[in-house]
Amino acid sequence: MPTKKSKFHPKTQHQFNVTIENYIKAIWNLSQSLPKDRRGIKNIDLSKHLNVTRASITGMVKKLLDKGLISKHDMSPEIYLTPKGLELAYDILRKHRLIEMFLLRTLDIEGLEIHEEAELLEHAISPRLLDAIDAFLEFPKYDDSGLTIPRSGGRKHLDHNKDSIPLSAANIEEMITVVSIADYNPSSLDGLKTKNIQIGARFKVMDVSTDNFVHLQSNKKQSIVLSFDEANLIRVATP
C-alpha cells in the first residue's frame, strides 16, 4: 500500500541570521523617529538602541553594507536601508505583529510580555505557519496597536494611517484621538499603558514643550504628562 504523502513541505530556512535581522529591525525602528535634520542612522544610535559596543556595530555595519542591505549617504557616516533591506524589515515587522495578535487572542499574556515573546518567535517561524496565522486572524490590515501590518512580499509600507499626525505635533487646546502606538521603543510601552494611553482614547492637549513633554487631559479631567519620547510613539487624529 503506497505511503500517503504529507501536504506539508520541509521547513523554510532563513536566508538571514538572527543578528542581522535584529540589526535591520533596529535601523528601521530608529529611522521612524529621526530629527528633521537627519537623513540616516549613526553607529552610536545603534550602539545605544541595541546596547552593544561601538566595535561590534562597526563590524556588523560592514557586513550589512557587503550584503547590500544598507547604504551610506555621500560624505556622511549615516546609514539607511536599501530596497533589499527594507523588504527584509517589512518581512520581520509582518511576523512580529501577526505573532503578537495571535498570542493576544489565544493566550492570557499581554503588554510588554507579548512583545518580548514575539521578539523571540519572529526569527523562528516559517512562512507557511505565518500565512496560517494570518488566515486565522482573517488577514488584518492593522495590529492591536493601530500599526499597519506589511503584506507578504510588499516593497512599500506606511506604518500608520496617512491622515494621522504625531502627538508631539498636535496643537495646544486641540482635541485628539489616539489611533496608533508604535513599538519602536519597547521600554516605553508599559509606561503608556499605566497612563491609560490606548487606541481610541480621546484627550485635550493642554501644553507641549518641544523636546521635553506633552501635557494631556482626559475626558474625566485626569491630567497626564508624557515625555517627548513617549509622545513620539503615539499618532493621533484631530477633528
Is pLDDT of 11 > 50? no
Residue at grid coordinates 541595541: 50
In angstroms, the Cα distances linking 141 to 59, 104, 119, 124, 146 are: 37, 16, 20, 23, 9
**Do 185 and 223 form a contact (C-beta atoms < 8 A)?**
no
Is pLDDT of 176 > 90? yes
pLDDT (mean) for 158-168: 87
pLDDT (mean) for 89-114: 90
Please report the pLDDT score of residue 112 as a whole number. 78
Is pLDDT of 232 > 60? yes
Least confident of 6-20, 72-86, 91-105, 134-148: 6-20
pTM over 0.75: yes
pLDDT (mean) for 196-202: 89
Rounded to the nearest 10 degrees, what angle do helices 83-106 and 111-121 cross at?
A: 130
The predicted-structure confidence for 44-84, as pLDDT tens digits, reads as follows 999 998 999 989 999 999 999 999 999 987 778 899 999 99
- How wide is the angle at C-alpha 175 spanned by C-alphas 169 and 181, nearest 5°? 55
State the pLDDT confidence band at 32, using cuts at 50, 70 and 90. confident
The correct answer on CATH 3.40.1350.10 for the domain covering 18-81 is: no
Is pLDDT of 163 > 90? no
**Do 202 and 175 form a contact (C-beta atoms < 8 A)?**
yes
Residue ranges covered by each domain of the chain: 18-81, 165-237
Is pLDDT of 14 > 60? no
Rounded to the nearest 10 degrees, what angle do helices 54-66 and 43-50 cross at?
A: 110
**Do 167 and 206 form a contact (C-beta atoms < 8 A)?**
no
* DSSP letters spanning 122-169: TTT--HHHHHHHHHHTT--SB-TTSPBPPPTT-S---SS-TT-EEGGG
State the pLDDT confidence band at 154, using cuts at 50, 70 and 90. confident
Residue at grid coordinates 499581554: 110
What is the distance in angstroms between the CA of the first residue and the CA of the last residue of the chain? 69
Please report the pLDDT score of residue 221 as a whole number. 85
Residue at grid coordinates 507557511: 128
Contacts 24+ apart (CB under 8 A), 217-221: none
Please report the pLDDT score of residue 16 as a whole number. 56
Q: Do domains 18-81 and 165-237 have the same CATH topology?
A: no
Q: What is the mean pLDDT of the chain?
A: 86
The correct answer on CATH 3.40.50.720 for the domain covering 165-237 is: no
Report the distance separating Cα 44 and Cα 142, nearest Å. Answer: 32
